[in-house]
């Protein structure tokens, strides 16, 4: 399925996304503000806010935020979650088609687990709405495979392979400290941003079977998966976890952060 079609699948998970997806580490937000020099009252633009997962922590700190979201259902969830913050506005639009108010410029443009879904115009668009010297910050949250990774993920990978949905590349993937992140190179290749900082964050969360399935229901590949394949996969997940004394798995996450300065 194409990127254009896959990026629209998240709207189907609008009601589940906020609770099912993990919170980003507090250290990430602290570094974001320190490394970008963003102070209270600054104007922020978020690309692909979803239901407000990364918007809320920044809204609570008093920033003025314009949040752009492609999915109508996700944007509606974001407005509901952010209703207590009058300085936050949510716009239903793709970032590619969104147009800022005349003369509006932002101190920081950021995207949390959304940047890869935006088309090639994204760097020029971000640079065009930033004040001179403004910052662009991008981070994501993906599956990490440290040395002490839960063996569940190797066991279930066999099921993914059986149904034709196996991991791209070799298994197991490299540990988070060795995971390649193309974003810094993309920043520089755009010719519009100079990378000023990169950071990586790793954390672990425990999930019951139902909690983990709720998480998978927010991933584009699982939403788009053929129903019979998904049903088989989910049955195997339940079976594997039911055989464990506590019925739980531990999933490690990693979030690479890239910060660039507008040239």
Count the domains in the chain: 1
DSSP summary character for residue 115:
G
- DSSP lists the bridge partners of residue 4 as none
Is 101 part of a structural domain of the chain? Answer: yes
Distances 186 to 87, 169, 259 between C-alpha atoms, Å: 32, 21, 12
Has residue 244 been placed in a domain?
A: no
- Phi/psi for 33 (5° steps) reads -70, -40
Q: In tens digits, what is the pLDDT along the chain, a chain of 263 residues?
A: 677 889 999 999 999 999 999 999 999 999 999 999 999 889 999 999 999 999 999 999 999 999 999 999 999 999 999 999 999 999 999 999 999 999 899 999 999 999 999 999 999 999 999 999 999 999 999 999 999 999 999 999 999 999 999 988 888 999 999 999 999 999 999 999 999 999 999 999 999 999 999 999 999 999 999 999 999 999 999 999 999 999 999 999 999 999 999 99
CATH number at residue 104: 3.40.50.150
What is the domain range of residue 51? 3-145+175-205+253-262
Asked if the structure places residue 105 within a domain, the reply is yes
pLDDT for 167: 87
Other Cβ atoms within 10 Å of 114 Cβ, number: 25
- 153 domain residue, yes or no: no
117-123 long-range Cβ contacts below 8 angstroms, 24+ apart: 117/3, 117/6, 117/7, 117/48, 118/47, 118/48, 118/94, 121/96, 122/47, 122/95, 122/96, 123/186, 123/187, 123/190, 123/192, 123/193
Q: Are strands 248-262 and 142-144 parallel, antiparallel or unpaired?
A: antiparallel
pLDDT of res. 1? 65
81 part of a folded domain: yes
Residue 103 forms part of a structural domain: yes
Q: Exposed, middle or buried: residue 120 (CB in 10 Å: 0-12, 13-18, 19+)? A: exposed
Structural domain includes residue 227: no
CA 63 to chain CA centroid, Å, is 20
Q: Is residue 118 part of a domain?
A: yes
Token duo for residue 103: 């003369």
pTM equals: 0.96
């Amino acid at each position: 399925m194409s990127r254009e079609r896959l990026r629209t699948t998240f709207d189907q998970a609008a009601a589940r996304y906020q609770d099912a997806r993990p919170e980003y580490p507090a250290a990430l937000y602290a570094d974001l503000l320190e490394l970008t020099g963003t102070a209270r009252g600054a104007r922020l633009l978020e690309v692909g806010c979803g239901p407000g997962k990364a918007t809320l922590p920044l809204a609570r700190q008093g920033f003025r935020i314009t949040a752009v979201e492609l999915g109508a259902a996700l944007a509606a969830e974001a407005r509901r979650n952010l209703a207590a913050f009058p300085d936050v506005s949510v716009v239903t639009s793709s970032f590619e088609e969104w147009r800022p108010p005349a003369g509006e410029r932002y101190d920081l443009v950021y995207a949390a687990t959304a940047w890869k879904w935006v088309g090639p115009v994204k760097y020029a668009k971000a640079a065009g709405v930033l004040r001179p010297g403004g910052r662009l910050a991008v981070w994501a949250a993906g599956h990490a495979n440290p040395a002490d990774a839960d063996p569940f993920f190797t066991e279930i990978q066999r099921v993914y392979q059986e149904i034709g949905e196996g991991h791209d590349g070799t298994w197991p993937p490299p540990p988070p400290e060795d995971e390649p992140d193309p974003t810094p190179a993309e920043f520089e290749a755009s010719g519009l941003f100079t990378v000023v900082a990169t950071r990586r964050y790793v954390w672990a969360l425990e999930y019951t079977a139902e909690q983990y399935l709720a998480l998978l229901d927010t991933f584009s590949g699982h939403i788009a998966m053929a129903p019979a394949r998904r049903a088989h996969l989910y049955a195997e997940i339940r079976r594997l976890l039911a055989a464990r004394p506590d019925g739980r798995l531990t999933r490690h996450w990693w979030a690479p952060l890239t910060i660039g300065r507008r040239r």
